[in-house]
Amino acid sequence: MTRFRMLGDIRVGAVGLGTMPLSVEGRPDVARAVATVHAALDAGVTLLDTADSYHPPDGRPGEGELLVARALASYGGRVDDVLVATKGGRGRTPDGGWTVDGRPGHLRRAAEASARRLGSTPIGLYQLHKPDPAVPYAESLGALRELLDAGTVRLAGISNVDTAQILLAREILGDRLVSVQNRYSPAVRTSEAELRLCAELGLAFLPWSPLGGISRSSLDGASAQEEDPAFGAFHRVARARGVSPQRVALAWLLARSETVLPIPGASRPESVRDSAAAAGLPLTPEELAELNGPEGWTERTGP
């Protein structure tokens, strides 16, 4: 198993870091958040994923981006090879909900604001956070194409999409579309068709919430979730290997396709170090068969 994956023409560590837990409600203090990002960089993580909407309901857009910029600026090592990915097109409501806004004008302003907060133009990877049902998707994608043409954005990605939307984005953005970010995990495998299409097109597939189905308490021993065969296999393999079920889950995702690049969240250095170690945990065919489950998730999608 390679410890690196490709995002367009950029080589990144096979496991990224989703920074959402560091900047939304329930977030750690700034010192621990920065230490978590630094631990990720120390462990070989070179993809940091954020969004302008990653902030508490009473916060301001871009708090997550500012945190990432602060962590990179204060890191004592090399950051030239770190790719920061951010997203635009969503917002927060005072009650903790989420909004969507795919209007071209909004996306252009949001990307320019993200670039200022990150202190980086062009933005390494800019992703449309979610299709807006009130705006034709082609219009939102057209705004992203304008951002690419203007040099505000280097590479483009899309998120929370189906296969038709991926094909439309490919038609409009060409080979500057490099990634798709959909929900995919041991518990939620409904984006199998999108994963397969990404492999066919050579697009990176970034599963969000990749540890769904693996209980947070599993590190402390057996859990009730082990009674469910869909997830118990991850605990059994973890015990046999002497590692966490979370690490096994990420290794399983990496084995699904050479295009998969998980971005697990973390709020403490110990968690991010464990996640990064999944890149060095090759699973046997027997283990993969057990983890794929009774539904027969045996097809390995890859180039």
Beta bridge partners, 177, equal 156
| Residue 54 known to be catalytic | yes
How many of the other CB atoms lie within 10 Å of CB of 86?
31
- What are the DSSP calls for 101-164, one per residue? ---HHHHHHHHHHHHHHHT-SSEEEEEE-S--TTS-HHHHHHHHHHHHHHTSEEEEEEES--HH
**Complete DSSP assignment for 238-293:** HHHHTS-HHHHHHHHHHHH-TTB----B-SSHHHHHHHHGGGG-PPPHHHHHHHHT
β-sheet bridge partners, residue 202 = none
Q: Which of 131, 45, 119 has the alpha carbon at shortest distance from 90?
A: 131
| 123-128 β-sheet, strand order | 17-18, 47-49, 83-88, 123-128, 153-159, 177-181, 204-205
Q: List the catalytic residue out of 54, 126, 137, 184.
A: 54
Identify which of 167, 20, 184, 3 has the alpha carbon closest to the alpha carbon of residue 87. Answer: 20
Q: Hey, which residues are catalytic here? A: 54
